[in-house]
Chains A and B, each alone.
Chain A
Amino acid sequence: MNLLEMKNVGVDIKDDVNNNKEILKDVSLEFEAGKIYVITGPNGGGKSTLAKCIMGIMPQNTGKIYLDGEDISDLSIVERSKKGIGYAFQTPAKFKGLKVGNLLKLAKGDSENSIEQTLRNVGLNPEEYLNRSIDNSFSGGELKRIELASILIQDLKLALFDEPEAGIDLWSFKLLIKTFKRLNRFTDTCIVIISHQERIMEMANEIVVIDKGEVAQKTVKNKLLSILNSNDLDNCELTCCERGELCGE
């Protein structure tokens, strides 16, 4: 059974002159527990909107979203969080005064995961970081790791990561890959990563290409990686395919 199902989902926003602009059009996708999905595609194609729509940050205007068969289309961000959906932001928020330990304690909720161990898992020493406030004193890489920790500490059914590799150094990138692999190995969390990075795509069970607000491809990774390598992405037809099969060819 699918963990998350999007059925004919559309998201509109108002543009500068107050006209409706379609950011996502008729998107239908399915996600299973325990799998890694990478969402990729051109900039401005609607990848982040898709993830934000699942989290409830940009609610859909049309279509439905189901989690474990339950319609969550009208649920708020907070309600979706309580149902086990988490979201790691591309640009993590900074908080003057709010400490790392406090944020992780809030994120942890009823989970039995250890705050200290989660920090160690993202390469941060708890003794050094727990009492620091999440402000400008942190580098971009440190902020990303704390953001990552705020997701890992939760017991999530579905974890969304919006360009987790953006703004981090090579060392952090290796750690990031390791972190996803560990999460995938030891939990049943469905991992959805927005990324352009081939190293991240290589981890995926399935890759979804979003372009011009539509699903351009959904496929197993090897076939898509070979298309990407042959720079033939523009020739992909805008067709959603069945899981594990490349269609539109």
Chain B
Amino acid sequence: MANEINKEGRSLLEIIAETGKIPEAMNIRMNGHSCERRVSPNIDIKNKENKPGIDVIVKPNTIGEVVSIPVVITAGNINDKVYNTIDIGAGSDVTVSAGCGIHNDSDDCSRHDGIHDFIIRENAKVKYIENHYGEGNGSGDNVLNPETRIELMENAIAELDMTQIEGVDSTIRFTKIILHDNAKIVVTERLMTSGNQRADSTIEVIIDGENASAQIISRSVAKGNSVQNFFMSLTGNAKCKGHIQCDSIIMDNAKVASTPKIYAANTDAELIHEATIGRIASDQLTKLMTIGITEEEAEDIIIKGFLD
């Protein structure tokens, strides 16, 4: 039976599911159950039959529509694992908004594992926005472990914008991308951790198609005693271009590791991996102080700009 979205859930949705446009189709999941669903003539959403989760089917040549499938958790002691399949029809141009927000005032852990399988068919174009956020006054951890697997067919284009800025105590992120001929993807991941939070992110890109390209931009800020681990892997099996850029700002007593792997199995594969870890540059702070900004404000401005 459908349950009502409570006040905390509404507030979380404003943070994680804002796309600037009312979605044509949506499915809101709260505390382990679907609680609101809308479909459009071009976008259908169905429950999976054998496991929790949904199938989102976008008809071929659907243009300009938004489908939003956020998850909110507003209590402690919830362990929600969900399998979603998103099938983007050939020639479509759509936005998919997902992500999860947790409001946990209890002393028990709440956890959401969102497993997303995308197939982006020939000539389709997708913008995928994923926001992860946690809040609450209890001592229970907020845990989010997303797995996103994306296959881009010939000439498909995807732009992924994945953000986790606040309040997630532990996350293990896994993203795998396979590109076929002429497919193109740009992934931007933004991550900030503080306190004793921990974040692991693996992004694995396999370029199988001729003239396909992938650009992965990962930006993170690690504060307090938090720990971040990045594993970035790029494989070129054809004439292709791939670029991973992984930059981290480290502060306080935080620890950041970045492990690159680039593997080419074709002489025409051009693969680049760049990784930097460093504190906020003192020349940046000094510049902002010379225009009247305090050091603390300057740090915030630099971090906000870096993650923007």
Contact = CB atoms under 8 A, between A and B. Distances in A.
Interface of A: 55, 57, 76-78, 81-82, 86-87, 89, 91-99, 102-103, 106-107, 109, 133, 150, 154
B305 interface: yes
A55 B286 CA distance: 10
Interface centre among A76, A82, A98 (most CB of B within 10 A): A98
B290 A98 contact: no
Given A89-B283, A106-B301, A97 B307 contact: yes
B292 A97 contact: no
A77 B286 contact: yes
Nearest to A97: B305
A98 B305 contact: yes
Nearest to B304: A97
Contact of B305 (A91, A95, A154): A95
A107 B301 CA distance: 13
A78 B302 contact: no
Contacts of B307: 97
A137 B236 CA distance: 26
B305 A96 contact: yes
Contact of A57 (B281, B290, B295, B308): B290
Contact of A55 (B247, B290, B294, B304): B290
Interface of B: 219, 247, 281, 283-284, 286-295, 301-302, 304-308
A92 B286 CA distance: 10
A83 to B, nearest CB: 10
Nearest to B308: A97
B287 A92 contact: yes
Contacts of B284: 93-95
Given A97-B305, A97-B306, A97-B308, A89 B289 contact: no
Given A89-B287, A96-B247, A78 B292 contact: yes
Contacts of A154: 291
B291 A81 contact: yes
Contacts of A57: 286, 290
Contact of A93 (B286, B294, B306): B286
A107 B306 CA distance: 19
B291 A98 contact: no
A108 to B, nearest CB: 9
Given A81-B291, A95-B284, A102-B301, 17 more contacts: A55-B290, A57-B290, A77-B290, A78-B292, A89-B283, A93-B287, A95-B306, A96-B219, A96-B305, A97-B302, A97-B305, A103-B291, A106-B292, A106-B293, A106-B301, A109-B291, A154-B291
A34 to B, nearest CB: 22
A82 B302 CA distance: 20
A107 B302 contact: no
B96 to A, nearest CB: 25
A149 B169 CA distance: 42
A102 B283 CA distance: 17
Max chain A Cβ within 10 angstroms of own Cβ: one of B281, B289, B306, B308: B289
Task: Kindly name the residue among A77, A91, A92 whose own CB sees the greatest number of chain B CB atoms within 10 A.
Answer: A77
A86 B284 CA distance: 15
Nearest to B190: A97
A133 B308 CA distance: 10
A172 to B, nearest CB: 20
Which 5 residue pairs spanning A and B have beta carbons closest together?
A98-B305, A97-B305, A81-B292, A93-B283, A107-B291
Nearest to B307: A97
A78 B294 contact: yes
Contacts of A103: 291
27 contacts: A57-B290, A77-B290, A78-B289, A78-B294, A78-B295, A81-B289, A81-B291, A86-B291, A87-B290, A89-B283, A92-B287, A93-B284, A93-B286, A93-B287, A96-B219, A96-B305, A96-B306, A97-B219, A97-B305, A98-B302, A98-B306, A102-B305, A103-B291, A106-B293, A107-B291, A109-B292, A150-B287
B23 to A, nearest CB: 27
Contacts of B294: 78
Contact of A98 (B289, B292, B301): B301
Contacts of A55: 290
